[in-house]
Amino acid sequence: MGSSRWGWIVPDGLWEIARPLLPPSRVRPQGGGTQNSPDEAVFAAIVYVLTSGCAWRHLPPCFGISKSTAHRRFLIWSRAGVWGWLHRAVLDELAARGLLDLSRIILDTAHVRAKKGANTQVRAPWTGVDPVPSCMSCPTAPDCLSWSLSQVATSTTARA
Q: What does the pLDDT look like over 131-140, one tens digit per residue?
A: 544 444 444 4
Q: Could you give the maximum distance between any two Cα atoms of the chain, in Å?
A: 77
Which pLDDT value is given to residue 139?
47
SS3 56: helix
User: Using an 8 Å Cβ cutoff, are 10 and 44 in contact?
Assistant: yes
Q: Is residue 107 part of a domain?
A: no
- Number of folded domains that form the chain: 1
More reliable by pLDDT, 58 or 120: 58
Distances (CA, A) of 145 to 26, 45, 133, 135: 59, 44, 14, 9
Q: What does the pLDDT look like over 49-95, one tens digit per residue?
A: 998 888 999 998 888 999 999 999 999 999 999 999 999 999 999 88
End-to-end CA distance of the chain: give it in Å, rounded: 60
User: Using an 8 Å Cβ cutoff, are 95 and 73 in contact?
Assistant: no
Provide the residue range defining the domain that includes 30. Answer: 14-96
Q: Is residue 29 part of a domain?
A: yes
Q: What does the pLDDT look like over 39-50, one tens digit per residue?
A: 999 999 999 999
Q: Is residue 145 part of a domain?
A: no
